[in-house]
Chains A and B, each alone.
Chain A
Amino acid sequence: MNGMETRAKELLDEALHSGHGACPGCAMPIILRTLFHALGEKTVAAITAGCFGTISGTFPASPIRIPAYNTPFPSAGAAGSGIRAALDVKGDTETTVVAVAGDGGTFDIGIQAISGAAERNDDYIFVCYDNEAYMNTGIQRSSATPWGAWTTTTPPSELKVQPKKDIVQIMAAHHIPYVATASIAYPDDFVRKIKKAQKIRGFKFIYAFSPCPVGWRFPSEITIRLARLAVQSKIFPLYEVEDGERYTLSVEPEGIPVSEYLKPQGRFNFLREGDMERIQENADREWERLMRRF
C-alpha cells in the first residue's frame, strides 16, 4: 500500500489540472494525466479536434500545464512532425513531442497524416485515446466502433455490422520502432510504455483504451473496472510491437467471458440471440491470431 500512496502523491505533480470540461467518469483525462506525468515538463503536445480538443480550455484559461497546440481534425500527424522539426532545427532535441488524438482523429479523418508521419519515422509519440465512436459530436459510429454496438448513427434496428479496424496492425505494418497498447487499469504498465517510447528515436504509437460512460452507457464509477475487464476478457490485449515484428505480451489475461465486459454497457443492449456468442468467438479468434505473432 505504501508504494501505491507514493505513486498517488507523484501523480499530484501533473500537467492536466482540474477545470477541464471532460464528463464525469471519462477515461481520457486519466490517460492524459498518466501520459503527461510520465513524459515530464519538457514536452510539447499537439492536440486535434475531438474530446481532448474540446476540453483543452476556453480562452483565456487552460487546464494544461505543458505547451500545447490545437490543430484541425485531420492534422495531428502532420503537426507533430512540424513541431519536432522546428525544435530540432533550433537545436532542441531533448524536448519530447507528443500528438494526441481520439479514434476519429487516428483511425478515420486523421489516418492519412499519421501514416505519413509513421512512414517518415518522424521522431515523436502519437497517442490515440480510443473511445470507440465520435463521442465529442454525440456518439456517432467510427471505424473503431465494435461490432454490434449502438451509436446515434447505428440505431437498434441497424447496429454496427463491421468489425473494429485493427489500428495496431496498421501502425505495426509501418515497421515503426515502437507500438504499444495501454490501459488506465494498468497504470504502471502505461507509465512504463510511455517512458520506453520517450527513449526511442523515431515514430512511436501508443494506443490507449478509453471507456466512455456517456457513449457506452455505463455508470461513471466503473470506468477503471471496465478498462480492466476489457483486458481480462481479451477484448483489449496489452502488448508491445517493436520494429513491426517483435511482439511482447504485457499482461496475461484471465480470459473471463466477454459477456462480463459487455453486459454493464447499455450500448450492447440491442444484441440479438446468439450475438454474445458471436462476439466471444470473434474475441477468441482474434486472440489466437494475435498469439501467432508472438
Chain B
Amino acid sequence: MKKLLTGNSAVSLGVMLCRAEVISAYPITPQTTIVEELSEIVADGRLKARFIRVESEHSALACVAAASASGARVFTATSSHGLAYMHEMLHWTSGSRLPVVMVNANRAIGSPWNIWCDHSDSLSQRDTGWVQIYCQSAQEALDTVIMAYRIAEQVLLPVMVMEDGFFLSHTSEGVDVPDQKEVDSFLPPYKPRFKLSPQDPHTYNIMADPSMFINFKHDAQQSMEQAKKVIARVDREFKGHFGRGYGIMGNVRMADADVVLLTMGTVASTALEVVDAFRKRGKKVGLCRLRMFRPFPAEEIGKILSKAKKVAVLDRDNSLGAGGIVAQELKAALYGAAKKPRVFEFIAGLGGKDITPEDIGEIFDYAMSHPGPNGGPVWMGVKK
C-alpha cells in the first residue's frame, strides 16, 4: 500500500513488519519520532513486542543486546550523541556476534550543539564492527530495515541503517509499504543458533586470553567479508520479492563518465539533478552513491571507478587532521587498483548546512578545471 511517510515513520513500519520482539530506545532528535511511533504500534497491539523505555542510549543497546542473546529479534534507534554514548556497547554487540538492527538518524556531534544532519556520528563508529548502510529515501530506509534483519541473522553481525536527520527522517514522500504476508515470506522468524537457555547453559562473553582473542576477531572479520556477498544476495532476493533493489552502491551515468561524484545519503538526490544538467551540456559526469560503507566495497568501487579520470568525493563529515572519512577510505581502496582516477576531496554540509545544486555544480567545475587535487580537502561554505 502506498502511503505518505516520513523516513522515521517508514522505519517504524519496517520494524513492525519485521516483527521485532524486543525494542528499547532513548529519545534523541532527530530519531525521536521512531521511538514514539513504535511505542504506539506496540501499545495498540499491531506489534507483539516488549518496548523497554530505558534511561539512556547505553542501556538501550545493552538491553536489546541481552535480549538478542536470549533469542529475540530486537531493534533500537538513535542519533549523534546517543550513538556516541553507545560506543562501548557497539563494540560489545558486534563482539558478541548479536544480530541487532539499529537505525541511526544522522546528526552532527557537538560541541557546539547542533541537531542537524551530517555523517560524523556514524562514521566515527566505523571501527565498531557493525555493518553500515546509508539510505537515500524513506522507501529505501523501510526496505533496508527489512533486509537488515536477513543480513544480520545470516552473518551474526549487527547492522546499522542510516537515514539523514531531517532531510530524510522528517520529510514525507510516497512509500510503498509492503504487506505483512510478503514480508513474512521474505523474512522468516529468527531462529537463533545460540541463545541463553536453562536447557543448554553456557556462559557468554567470558575471558578470551591472548592465545584465543585474535581468533574471535578473525572469525568476525571473515563474517564481515562474507557480509558483502550476503548484502548483495539479500538485495537481489528483495528485488525478486518486492520489485525494488538498491545494490551495494547506486551508480548513475557511470558508463562513460570522466568525472564522478562519490557521496552518501540524501545529497545524492540533489547531485542527480546536477549530473543530468551537466549531461545536457555535454559534460561526461556521473554519480556513485555509496550505500554499503561497512564492509567497505573496496574492490567493487575500484572497478566502477576504473574508467573515470577524476572522482570528487563529497564528505558530510571530517576527521580532524586527516580529512573526509569517505575520501580516506576511497583512497585506501584505490591504492592497489590498476587504473586510478585522481581523487578530489570536498567537505560540505556539516551540521545540516544545505548542500545546494550550485555547490555540487561548483564541485564538478572544480574537478573538471583542475588537472589534480590542490593539497587537502576543499571546504565548502566556510564564511570568510
Contact = CB atoms under 8 A, between A and B. Distances in A.
Interface in A70-86: 70-72, 74-75, 77-83, 85-86
A167 interface: no
Interface string B57-80: 011101111111111101000000
A85 B59 CA distance: 14
B205 interface: yes
B69 A69 contact: yes
Interface stretch (B109-117, B118-126, B140-148, B206-214): B206-214
A67 interface: yes
Contacts of A78: 24, 54, 58-60, 62-63, 66
B58 A43 contact: no
Given A72-B89, A78-B54, A89-B50, A112 B205 contact: no
Contacts, number: 159
A82 B24 contact: yes
B186 interface: no
A113 B55 contact: yes
Nearest to B202: A67
Nearest to A116: B55
Contacts of B196: 44, 67-69, 83
Interface stretch (A55-63, A243-251, A283-291): A55-63
Contacts of A79: 62-63, 65-66
A85 B22 CA distance: 7
Nearest to A99: B66
Interface in A85-111: 85-90, 95
A247 to B, nearest CB: 27
B45 interface: no
Contacts of B55: 112-113, 115-116, 119
Interface string A260-293: 0000000000000000000000000000000000
A115 B205 CA distance: 25
Contacts of B208: 58-59
B201 A85 contact: no
B92 interface: yes
B56 A86 contact: no
A257 B56 CA distance: 44
Contact of B52 (A66, A70, A85, A112): A85
Contacts of A112: 55-56, 59
Contacts of A57: 203, 206-207
Nearest to B197: A67
A81 B76 CA distance: 14
Interface string A112-130: 1101100110100000000
> By CB atoms of chain A within 10 A, which of B63, B204, B205 has the most?
B63
A74 B87 CA distance: 12
B117 to A, nearest CB: 28
Given A72-B88, A112-B59, A113-B56, A82 B65 contact: yes
B188 to A, nearest CB: 16
A82 B203 contact: no
A74 B21 CA distance: 24
B152 to A, nearest CB: 16
Contacts of B67: 82-83, 85-86
A139 B53 CA distance: 35
A41 interface: yes
Contact of B204 (A69, A74, A113): A69
A69 B66 contact: yes
A176 interface: no
Nearest to B55: A116
Given A113-B55, A113-B56, A81 B207 contact: no
Given A41-B198, A89-B21, A77 B59 contact: yes
Nearest to B20: A89
A82 B58 contact: no
A42 interface: yes
B62 A72 contact: yes
A58 B205 CA distance: 9
Contact of A46 (B49, B64, B66, B92): B66
B48 interface: yes
A239 B202 CA distance: 34
Interface in A207-245: none
A71 B52 contact: no
B204 A82 contact: no
A203 to B, nearest CB: 13
Given A65-B201, A83-B67, A83-B196, A59 B207 contact: yes
Interface of A: 41-44, 46-47, 54, 56-59, 62, 64-72, 74-75, 77-83, 85-90, 95, 112-113, 115-116, 119-120, 122
13 contacts: A44-B70, A47-B203, A56-B206, A69-B69, A70-B203, A70-B204, A72-B89, A75-B89, A78-B24, A78-B54, A81-B52, A85-B52, A119-B55
Interface of B: 21-22, 24, 48-50, 52-56, 58-60, 62-72, 74, 88-89, 92, 196-198, 200-209, 212
> Which 7 pairs between the two chains have the least Cβ-Cβ distance?
A82-B66, A75-B62, A116-B55, A86-B70, A78-B59, A62-B203, A70-B205
